């Protein structure tokens, strides 16, 4: 396993991180999995053996129960692991148990630390943009948590490009510690992050950590043309996400993944992980598994090296349309692009048939 610095920080993290959405499987997360403490402990050990020492969770997952399962799984191993958690989505009926306010951040971190059985987190995320709370309040509170020793670093998740820039700019201009990373959704089929988020992260020095590279189960290898999702999967179990902008486009991506998978005697998920892992501006990616066999398969994808023509085959299947100002810039002055966006502008030119 390779290790990379998280943004501009000194924290070195593995390229693969184990996510815990399938842990517990309660309180609305039944379709995601049902991993309990004993199996979770074995999966933590399997991950550590493979060099994956970072584990990602959130108070949202199973309404805190995923944190409890993870906490039990790492008991006696805290010095060997890096822990993340998140807050921001509504947690209960209280009007202040949500968002990025000082009140919610201070309350949530103490509750998460208790459930995880630790006195600090290596990384703490605001789980979604809170447009009702001043960014100053969020940045200052996260810095206070760092000074108090409750967190080592902080990040944001599911922000837009301007919200990320606003947050980062306020922190830097006011002598505060900015977010080290953003956690964003990006898959071979869902490529919207290429418009703003991935280049913005690279330009600001904010690592782009990818959540659900398999599209919340869309790219699990069990879905395709004429193949409905099995009921024992997220997509077959009533999971509401993600939004699919074009079903035919999704099938074209799956077709390309299946073709490349056949070349490597690999599975569709393994190829999807390998493709996302190697994309421009991508930092660590969060993998997940419903059982130990899946975890072993997903970890093995790290050894798969795709050829350039295989990368291109998958890339062309769902290249984002060149929306303004991208089509204008790709057409008029692509040579003025920042290094972080050159590859995307080239794709837009190809889509428009420009030499």
Coil, helix or strand at residue 288:
coil
pTM over 0.85: yes
- Is the same domain home to 81 and 139? yes
- Do 116 and 153 belong to one domain? yes
Report d(CA 19, CA 26) in Å as an integer: 16
pLDDT value at residue 97: 83
Looking at the structure, tell me whether residues 325 and 288 fall in a common domain: no
Confidence check: pLDDT of 162 > 90: yes
Residue 205 pLDDT more than 90?
A: yes
User: For 89-106, what is each residue's pLDDT tens digit?
Assistant: 998 888 888 999 999 999
Please tell me the distance from the alpha carbon of residue 39 to that of residue 62, in angstroms, as a whole number.
Answer: 17
178 and 281 both lie in a single domain: yes
- Burial label for 170, CB within 10 Å (0-12, 13-18, 19+), is middle
Residue 277's φ and ψ, nearest 5 degrees, are -55, -35
Range of lowest pLDDT (113-127, 128-142, 279-293, 326-340)? 326-340
Average pLDDT, stretch 284-295?
A: 97
Domain shared by 325 and 205, yes or no: no
The predicted-structure confidence for 8-46, as pLDDT tens digits, reads as follows 999 999 999 999 999 999 999 999 999 999 999 999 999
Pairing of strands 54-56, 16-19: parallel
Query: What are 260-277's pLDDT values in tens digits?
Result: 999 999 999 999 999 999
Residues 101 and 193 in one domain: yes
Q: In this predicted structure, what is the pLDDT of residue 187? A: 98
What average pLDDT does the structure give for the chain? 96
Dihedrals φ, ψ of 202, to 5°? -65, -40
Q: What integer pLDDT is reported at residue 226 of this predicted model?
A: 84
- Between CA 306 and CA 313 the distance in angstroms is 11
Owning domain of residue 61: 3-313
**344 and 200 in a common domain:** no
Same domain? 330 vs 232? no
Answer with the one of 280, 295, 313 that is the final residue of a domain: 313
The tens digit of pLDDT for each residue in 179-191 reads 999 999 999 999 9
Statement to judge: residues 21 and 118 lie in one domain: yes
Residue 108, domain CATH: 3.20.20.100
Overall domain count for the chain: 2
Same domain membership, residue 270 and residue 346: no
């Amino acid at each position: 396993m390779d290790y990379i610095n998280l943004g501009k920080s000194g924290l070195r993290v593995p390229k693969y991180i184990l996510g815990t959405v399938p842990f517990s499987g309660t309180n609305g997360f039944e379709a995601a999995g049902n991993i309990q403490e004993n199996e979770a402990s074995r999966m933590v050990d399997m991950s550590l053996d493979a060099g994956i020492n970072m584990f990602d969770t959130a108070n949202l997952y199973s309404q805190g129960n995923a944190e409890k399962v993870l906490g039990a799984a790492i008991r006696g191993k805290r010095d060997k692991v890096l822990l993340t958690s998140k807050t921001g989505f509504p947690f209960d009926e209280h009007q202040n148990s949500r968002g990025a306010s000082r009140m919610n951040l201070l309350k949530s971190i103490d509750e998460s630390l208790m459930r995880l059985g630790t006195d600090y987190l290596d990384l703490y995320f605001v789980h979604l943009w809170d447009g009702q709370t001043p960014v100053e309040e969020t940045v200052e509170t996260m810095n206070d948590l760092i000074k108090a020793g409750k967190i080592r670093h902080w990040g944001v998740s599911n922000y837009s490009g301007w919200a990320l820039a606003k947050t980062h700019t306020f922190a830097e201009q006011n002598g505060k510690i900015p977010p080290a990373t953003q956690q964003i959704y990006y898959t071979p089929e869902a490529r919207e992050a290429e418009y703003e988020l991935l280049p913005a992260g690279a330009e600001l020095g904010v690592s782009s950590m990818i959540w659900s590279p398999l599209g919340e189960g869309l790219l699990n290898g069990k879905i395709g043309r004429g193949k409905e999702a099995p009921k024992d999967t997220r997509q077959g179990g009533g999971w509401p996400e993600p939004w699919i902008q074009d079903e035919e486009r999704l099938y074209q991506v799956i077709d390309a993944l299946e073709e490349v998978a056949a070349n490597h005697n690999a599975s569709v998920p393994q190829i999807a992980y390998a493709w996302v892992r190697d994309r421009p501006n991508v930092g660590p990616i969060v993998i997940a598994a419903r059982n130990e066999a899946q975890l072993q398969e997903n970890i093995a994808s790290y050894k798969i090296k795709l050829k350039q023509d295989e990368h291109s085959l998958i890339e062309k299947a769902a290249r984002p349309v060149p929306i303004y100002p991208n089509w204008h810039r790709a057409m008029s002055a692509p040579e003025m692009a920042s290094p972080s966006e050159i590859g995307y502008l080239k794709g837009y030119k190809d889509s428009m048939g420009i030499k």
